[in-house]
Structure formats: C-alpha cells, structure tokens
Amino acid sequence: MISAFSAVRTPLFLTNISALSPSPSQPTTIAAVATPAGVGAVSLVRISGPAAIAVADLATAGRASLMSPRSAHRCHILDAAENVLDDGLMVVFRAPNSFTGEDCVEFSGHGGMLVTRQVLARLLACGAGPAGPGEFTQRAFLNGKLDLTQAEGVMDLIAAQTRLALRAARSQLEGTLGQRTTGARNLVLETLAHLEAWIDFPEEDIQPESADSLRANVRSVLSTLDSLLATADQGRVLREGARTVICGAPNVGKSSLLNQLLGFERAIVSDLPGTTRDTLEEIVSLHDIPLRLVDTAGVRQAGDPIEAAGIQRTERQIELADLLLELADASQPRPAALLLPATCGKRLFILNKSDLGEHPSWHAAEAVRISCASGAGFEQLADAIRDILHFNETDWGEHAIAINTRHQACLCTARSALLAALALLEIPSNDPALAAIDLREALDALGEIAGRVDTEDLLGVIFSRFCIGK
C-alpha cells in the first residue's frame, strides 16, 4: 500500500537513511517509554541521538523532518506496512536545544500498555536502540546541559514524597549545590595557582599579606564545606525517612501512638501488658518529614521466651534509631530506673494518658504531654519532632540544600585536605609544595561533586539508579 504522502513526492527521509548507521565515534540513537507502565490517558515515547529524526521519519512516513522545532504536530505512527499503530502529537527538538543536547523526538499517544509497546517496538525496528536506566539524563550531563548534582536532582525530584523533599530536589536541580561547590572549587583553584606561582619563582618572596590571603581563602572554603556537611542528616532523612522507634514499658500506649500518627488502626491495642511481641514498621509524613515509625515490644523483665525475643528486637531497633520516642504513662508513678539503653542519637520523652491526670512525680519532667485517647498534644509533638530533626525554619533555611552520601564523602575528603593545607600554610618555614599537594586533592574532590573530573565508573553507578526513559 502506498500512502497519499509518498505518492505525491519522494520521502525526504529516504535520502538520510545513512544516519541510522552511526560511526563508531558517534553515539547511538536511543528510544524508551518515558511514562510509567500501566493504563493511562497518555503515554510518552522519547527518542534521542544523531538519527532521532531519521528514525521518527521512518515511523511517520517522513513527517518528523518536516516539522518546525519545538512545536506539537498531530501525526500517525505507522508499522512497516503503513498501517496506523497510534495517532497523537509529536514534537521535534533539534540539537543543541533539547534536554539531552542531541536531536530529540517525543511522541505523545494513547496510554494503553499494548499500543505503547507497539509504538516503541516500531521505533526500535526503525533503527533506535533501547535506552538504559537514566541514559537520557546521562547524555544531558555529558553534553553539558546539566552538572552531576543537577542530574542527581532529577532523580530526587522524581522520588520526592514530601514537600520538603521536593523543595530540596528542586533547589538541587536549579543548580544551587553545584554553584556553591563550584564557587568553593574556584577559590581553591585561585589559591593553588598563587601558591604554585610562588613555588615556580622562589626568588620572589611571598608577601605576608599574600600568605594571609591564602589562609583566608582556605578558611572561607572550609566554612562553605562545613555548612554543606551540616545538611547531610537532613538529606538522608528526606531521601530515606527518619527511623523513629517508639519504645517504653508495657501498656504505656506505644501502639496507640503509632495508630494516632498513622491515622488508622495498624497495631492491636489492648490493656494486657505484652500484647506487642514483634516490631511493626510504617511510613508517615509529619510536617512534610518522612518518618519510618517502628512500634516495639514493651521493655520489662520477660515472662516467656517469645516475649524475651521481642524485647531483644526492641533493643536492636533502639540501636539503629535516628530518633527515639520514649513513652511513659503520666498517670502512674515515675519508675525509679528506666530499662531503656542510655545511648541514642536523638531522643524525645513523651508522657501519654495526660487525660487521666498527671502523677505528682512527673511534674518536673521535661516531656511532651499527649493523650492518645483524646488526641491532645499531637500538634506539640509534631513540632517537637520537627525541631529535634532540625527541620525548623532556623535550621533548614530559606534555600534548601540537602547533600547525599556521595556529596558528603567528597566534601569530607576536600575538608580533610584543606585542613592539612591550612596547617602547613600556618608555618612559613614549611615547604609550600606540600600544601599544594593537599590543595590539588581538595580541588579533585570538589570537582567530583559536579562531575568535573574523570568519573566514568561513578557515572555508571549514579545513572543506573534512574528509571528507564529518564
């Protein structure tokens, strides 16, 4: 069957068929579905690479190469026999004005699973290769459209489940972290250049004010690194959730507290001590902070082997906790000694059952007072959790930055090298070449954050965590 389009003129795309066979030095053209699997109103299939437009031409009888860039046009995706597979909107982005910096084509069609798979299969049959996880974003990085922190921000933006996580991801995607680390790196580079000039021309004695300036530069960078490192805990909490363990003696309301925070009956509540014998874990958002709530068995002298095993699990959970919510019964006398471990990263003491009246022995206790029965005190509890995790406005700041584990490792390496360089620069008799070695190490570590050094293995690890089609 010959289409009306091909009967009128020779398809333009047939003259560009050589673009489908890229040279070894030329990147391949990739295609993938960019929307989640399943049934929806619309699906998006994306193509990127030097032959993206030629591939789209083969699947649309030459329509793609005739389209004006960055404008949506209705077209049909055709199979090899020119039967219509789907019809929708196609947008052509010509290099370098695209997300990846390459020629790109995006087709928005109907959101059925079968029709989307057929459209993708047709594009692959026309010469595209299947995209790997994160390959579109990786190409954007390699083509200078994003730095590495912005590429990671794309992944964080997709994975964000709370407003604060979204805010931090958007800040990173806008380049805030990259700008701060690049500014710090430039100052280290300036300091290193000055120091190496002095090494190359030793007859030109360094002036005391120049030495002071070099040390001031290093201290300024250290201050920047310290402020970024202070956000590591917030970054981990936003991405993984704060492991929040609810613990206390039996029958103080631990399961009731879990149910109240979740907003539904997840744990069995009973007046019988020892009802909870295993740990329960659920995720909740409180003040836009993700909490991994863990309800534990009551801590006491165990009455049987099963309860003893539950208490051992409680102790292990306490050791792993980011935040310990230590619960007690306000209506009962204060115990002489607590059976809970004395060490924990962060702990918040809570007095429950305040609706029953507070025993005089608790009057001087510093605690958040709540009632799981009436719901009283939960606003204060939410505020206290936010403050102890340092997500209040004072600690979090107006411009959210939350570094991840990779950033933290690079910043710690740079910080150690800068401290070593500063110690050497403090003593004029020290060989400046030694300080230069430390400054180069700091320079490389800071460059690695934004991807400004050779990090091929690192890139493979980072982009493998992305979803296909992004």
Task: Look up the CATH number of the domain holding residue 448.
Answer: 1.20.120.430
Q: How far is CA 58 from the centre of its chain?
A: 38
Mean pLDDT of 241-259: 85
- Which pTM value belongs to this model? 0.75
Give the pLDDT band (50/70/90) at residue 344: low
In tens, the pLDDT along 410-436 reads 999 999 999 999 999 998 888 888 999
The whole-number pLDDT of residue 322 equals 87
Q: Is residue 302 part of a domain?
A: yes
396, 422, 448: which is the final residue of a domain?
396
Q: Is residue 195 part of a domain?
A: yes
Residues 225 and 244 in one domain: no
Q: How far is CA 130 from the centre of its chain?
A: 25
Q: Is residue 138 part of a domain?
A: no
Residues 356 and 452 in one domain: no
Residues 226 and 323 in one domain: no
Mean pLDDT of 41-51: 96
The whole-number pLDDT of residue 93 equals 97
Residues 316 and 448 in one domain: no
Residues 285 and 370 in one domain: yes
Residues 346 and 409 in one domain: no
Task: Look up the CATH number of the domain holding residue 96.
Answer: 3.30.1360.120
378, 396, 414: which is the final residue of a domain?
396
Mean pLDDT of 64-78: 95
396, 415, 437: which is the final residue of a domain?
396
Residues 443 and 294 in one domain: no
Residues 175 and 264 in one domain: no
Give me 358's structure tokens.
Answer: 């507070």
Q: Is residue 143 part of a domain?
A: no
Place of tokens 């006491």: 300
Q: What CA–CA distance (Å, rounded) separates 216 from 199?
A: 19
Residues 205 and 304 in one domain: no
Q: Quick check: 154 and 141 in contact, CB under 8 A?
A: no
Q: Which domain holds residue 377?
A: 237-396
Give the pLDDT band (50/70/90) at residue 193: confident
Task: Look up the CATH number of the domain holding residue 249.
Answer: 3.40.50.300
Give me 442's structure tokens.
Answer: 């700091």
In tens, the pLDDT along 108-141 reads 999 999 999 999 999 999 999 999 999 999 999 9
The whole-number pLDDT of residue 418 equals 97
Q: Quick one: which H or E segment has residue 425?
A: helix 405-425
Determine the 3-state secondary structure of 366 from DSSP.
coil
Residues 259 and 372 in one domain: yes
Give me 307's structure tokens.
Answer: 């309860």
Of 236-250, 300-314, 446-460, where does mean pLDDT reach its minimum? 300-314
Mean pLDDT of 160-184: 89
Residues 273 and 218 in one domain: no
From the list 186, 188, 187, 152, the residue with the least C-alpha distance to 170 is: 152
Q: Is residue 55 part of a domain?
A: yes
* Number of domains comprising the chain: 3
From the list 50, 40, 107, 102, the residue with the least C-alpha distance to 78 is: 107
Give the pLDDT band (50/70/90) at residue 311: low
Determine the 3-state secondary structure of 125 from DSSP.
helix
Q: Is residue 470 part of a domain?
A: no
The whole-number pLDDT of residue 384 equals 94
Q: What CA–CA distance (Å, rounded) separates 108 from 33?
A: 10
Q: What CA–CA distance (Å, rounded) separates 324 from 168?
A: 25
User: Has residue 225 got a pLDDT over 60?
Assistant: yes
The whole-number pLDDT of residue 368 equals 92
Q: What CA–CA distance (Å, rounded) separates 371 from 423?
A: 55
Q: Is residue 139 part of a domain?
A: no
Give the pLDDT band (50/70/90) at residue 1: very low
Q: Is residue 451 part of a domain?
A: yes
Residues 85 and 160 in one domain: no
Q: How far is CA 172 from the centre of its chain?
A: 9
Q: What CA–CA distance (Å, rounded) separates 441 from 436?
A: 9
The whole-number pLDDT of residue 401 equals 80
How many CA atoms lie less than 13 Å away from 266 in the CB half-sphere?
21
